[in-house]
Amino acid sequence: MEQAISQPQVSGYKDLNLVVATDNTYVYRAIEDSIDARKVIIKYIPRQDNSENKERLAVLDYEHDILQRITGNANLPELIAFLKLDSGFALITLDNGGTALKELIKSGPLPLA
Spell out the SS3 assignment of 1-40.
Answer: CCCCCCCCCCCCEEEEEEEEEECCEEEEEEEECCCCCCEE
* Residue 72 confidence (pLDDT) above 60: yes
CA–CA dist 39, 109 (Å, integer): 29
pLDDT in tens, 24-56: 889 999 999 888 899 999 999 998 877 777 888
CA dihedral 31, 38, 82, 64 (to 10 degrees): 120
Burial label for 57, CB within 10 Å (0-12, 13-18, 19+), is middle
Which of 5-14, 20-29, 58-67, 71-80 is least confident?
Answer: 71-80
* Residue 1: predicted pLDDT: 41
* All structural domains of the chain with their residue ranges: 13-105
Domain at 13-105: CATH architecture: 2-Layer Sandwich (3.30)
pLDDT in tens, 83-103: 999 889 999 999 987 766 666
